[in-house]
Every structure is written in C-alpha cells, then in structure tokens.
Chains A and B, each alone.
Chain A
C-alpha cells in the first residue's frame, strides 16, 4: 500500500500505552478493565479513572461499536491528512461501554450516521504504528 509522504501525527508509546500500541501492531484491539471496580476504560491509563485503583487488566475487546457522533472534515488539520480529506472524524461507543475517537473508513463519508453499527479494522500507517479504525459492520 502506498503512503502519502506526509504522515499524520503518530503516537509515541509510553508506560501507560505501550501494550495497547503493541497489540494494535498485531491487529488485536485491547482495552483495560479494573479488577477492583469492574469498570472498563478508554484511553489506557496507569490507574482506573473510576476508582483510582492500579489493578488493571488488558482484555481483548469485541471490536464492535456504535457511532456516537461524527463529522465529515473537509479541511486537513495537518499536512498528513491532505490526501485523506475529506475524512470522517468520529466518536464511537464500544460494546464494552467506553467511548473512543476514531475514523470511520471503507465507506462513503456522507453515508455515516449516528447509531450506525461499526467494527474495528486496522490501519498499518507505518511498520511501527497501526491505528485501530472502524468500518460499517
């Protein structure tokens, strides 16, 4: 797959997030669940944002989600998006509960609707970085 010369800003993994990005590289979508209070959270943190506990487990997520909101962006916010514009910026609610930002891909941007069922797909942006994105289910 050819890539535009300018890349979007890419994540620099750190203590909280290294496992997530490593899994994404392997096309696995994992999220954190708190052993103390039982809540899921997204994005990954070093503590639970519901109870401040540190007993967090990684779980393979279902990859199923619903579009909570979206916006078709007609202006690239960064040179790395120039060739992908217009693109769909979206918030999806994961089947497990948490909400995350993503792009809705593999469809006509104008066809995206709130409430639409979507499923995870993996965009290998570089050899090192894979971004979980979502496409119509």
Chain B
C-alpha cells in the first residue's frame, strides 16, 4: 500500500511560555506557540491554510473557528476532532493526509491551556457540577476522576501481572532525570523510588509522584509537503507512519483495563512506516500517570503484555538507559496543561533534528510519539524520521 504521508514533513515546532502564566489566556498561549513554530519553519501565518486544534475547557466551543479567527487565519481545511490529549498526535496523521491529498499546503496544529491558572495557581480538582446529563451520569455520582480512572487500571494490572508500585516509580524517577537536563522543565530536582513510594496516595495504588503536573502551556507544530519542506529553514522531519484508535469514552466501558488503543494505533503506525520496534531510537510516550506509560509500552508491543514492570526496571528509560523515553521530562516533570499530546510531537521532532543539547539521544534518527486521551480512551501513534 502506498503511504502518502511519507511525502509530508514537520517543519516547525515550538512551545509557548510554560509553567504558571497567569497573565496570558489559553488563546494567547496557543497563538504565541503558533507564531514561534512558524518562525522555526521560516513560514508566516499568511502561509497557513490548514488548522487543527481543540480546546475542551471553558471558551473552547467551535475551537478551530475560534482560534482561526483569533489568529487571522482562513483555513480551507479544518479539524477539531476531540479525543483529549491524543488529539494533537492524531492531527499529525490527519494533517499529513490532507497535505498529501492536496487539500491544504501548510497545516498548523496548535494548543493552549491555562490549566493551573484556572485553578488559582494550585492543583486539585475543578469539578463543581451538581447535575449530570448524558452517559457520564453513570460515573460522576460515584466520584470518578481522572486519577481515579487510571488508578483502576493500575490496580487491575497489578492484580493480573504482579506489577508493583516500585516498578511504576521507576518511570517517574527516570523521567525526572531527563527533566534535570531540560531548562524548560518545571520539576528538575532528582527523586528516588522511595520518594515516589512515600509521596501521599491520591487514589490507590497511585501516589502523588505517579501523577503528571498541572501547568499552563501552549504548543504548536507546522507541517507541509516534503518538497516544500526541503526549501525551508530546518531539516524536514518526515511522517513515516501514523495510526489512531479509540476504544471507549468512560473507564467503566474500557474493554480491558490492561490494554490501550495503542495496540491498534501502534500496529498501524509500524505497518505504515514499514518499521519494527528495533528501528525506534527514542520514544515520547504520553505519561499522564506512570501506569499510562507502562500500559502503552505493552500495548505498542515494546514488551509482552504483563512484562511492562520488568521492562522499565533498573532505570531502563533513563538517560544512558537502553530505552530513551520522555526525554524532555514528560508530563510527569516538564509540563502538563491537561492535554499533553502536542509536546510528545515537539520533542520527537527535536530529537530527530538533533537539537536537544545535553539531553540529545545520540544519533536519534527515528522517533515514536504516542498520545493518550480521555481515560485511556484514545491513542494516536506517529513515527518520525530524518529526510
């Protein structure tokens, strides 16, 4: 099967201000990240004719129309597919196919969120609803939350496979080591497995340090045809393969708590790229919680089902380890504005370009990025490589 997305490249990536940014709206963060990503590509906002974005919080209705208007863009291809944090990885696939089909020339994927400033600069829940309409009325009255949902998956994985909290902690510790080498990362002080184990339990078996940060952040990614990309500022990063899938919306409806849709999207991405696991030099795996990473690694097939705990042990994913992963410090230690997917793409591109400085994985030629959205509900997997 011809793989048209191979003739499309990512040409620009950027973040906005990150962390706690109380003086900027989510719209501004999205737009400023977009401007920076277009600068990175050597393109202008006038070149953009495809827009891919979603906002799931207040003010986000009609997201792509609203953000196009905000930035003065008149797209001829537009997409607000709303899959949660994986959306922005899935958009890479959608944008690549739109460009390959000639439906647009320059695609802008953007995201902005004031997730921490919306909570007055503090973490913690924001849910204040009093009445629930729709199918979530079979979960919300029982106190479901994001962390509670992921905790259910962690508990089941432990029950079925003997996975331990120490093994999950390995992921948090390794990710913090990468963050220490990223000046933009919010949490850079080293942590130990004991630190994770001794942090308070939020929803058993998940501890505070098993959970991602809550921050403000924006990010953007620009794509165009490989042909045009070769004349732009930076070396093109090709979209070698991609896949997407979703299996449920609510955690109670997840077919198997120990396997994510990455089993589908990852298989598609590898098949379309014509690559195998041993070809991947660096992996950027959405780490909303440590368990997310473990389930994703198994679902993608980097190890057998049930072997994720052993796979991440002995700091295998840390700097210098056999399996470099989440090299910017991940959602656990770098930034997490509620939907993290776009930041896996940004770091994957930077690794393939070789511009990551101290945290650069030597000779990283092929990167895999995987976004997870909802409550282990949706995934997008992309494989990126040098031209």
The residues of A with any CB-CB pair to B shorter than 8 Å are 7-12, 14, 17, 42-43, 45, 68-79, 81, 84, 87, 89-91, 99-103, 114-115, 125, 129, 131, 133
Contacts and interface: CB of A to CB of B under 8 A. Distances in A.
Contacts of B132: 9-12
B140 A89 contact: no
8 contacts: A9-B130, A12-B133, A14-B133, A75-B124, A78-B128, A78-B140, A91-B252, A101-B252
A103 B142 contact: yes
Nearest to A123: B141
Contacts, number: 126
B180 to A, nearest CB: 28
Q: How large is the interface on B (under 10, 10 to 19, 20 to 34, 35 or more residues)?
A: 35 or more
B251 interface: yes
B123 to A, nearest CB: 10
Given A101-B252, A103-B143, A7 B130 contact: yes
B61 interface: no
Interface stretch (B18-26, B144-152, B293-301): B144-152
Given A91-B252, A131-B142, 11 more contacts: A9-B130, A9-B131, A69-B257, A71-B148, A72-B204, A74-B203, A77-B127, A89-B151, A90-B152, A99-B253, A133-B142
B144 A77 contact: yes
A19 to B, nearest CB: 14
B156 A68 contact: yes
B139 interface: yes
Contacts of B125: 75-78
6 A-B pairs closest in CB distance:
A11-B137, A71-B151, A77-B145, A101-B252, A69-B156, A43-B138
B304 interface: no
Given A7-B130, A9-B130, A89 B200 contact: no
Given A77-B143, A101-B138, A71 B127 contact: no
Contacts of B252: 43, 91, 99-101
Given A101-B144, A102-B142, A71 B152 contact: yes
Contacts of A129: 141
Given A9-B129, A71-B152, A87 B143 contact: yes
Contacts of A17: 137
Contacts of B153: 69
Nearest to A49: B253
B356 to A, nearest CB: 35
B45 interface: no
A10 B139 CA distance: 10
A110 to B, nearest CB: 9
B202 interface: yes
Contacts of A68: 156, 257
Contacts of B124: 75
Contacts of A43: 135, 138, 252
- Residue from B128, B131, B141 whose CB has the most chain A CB atoms within 10 Å: B141
B275 interface: no
A13 to B, nearest CB: 8
B46 interface: no
A72 B133 contact: no
A89 B130 contact: no
B155 interface: yes
Nearest to A81: B143
A11 to B, nearest CB: 4
Contacts of A71: 148, 151-152, 154-155, 203-206
A135 to B, nearest CB: 14
A89 B152 contact: yes
Contacts of B140: 8-9, 78
B251 A74 contact: no
Given A12-B131, A87-B143, A101-B138, A77 B156 contact: no
Contact of B203 (A8, A73, A78): A73
Contacts of A125: 141
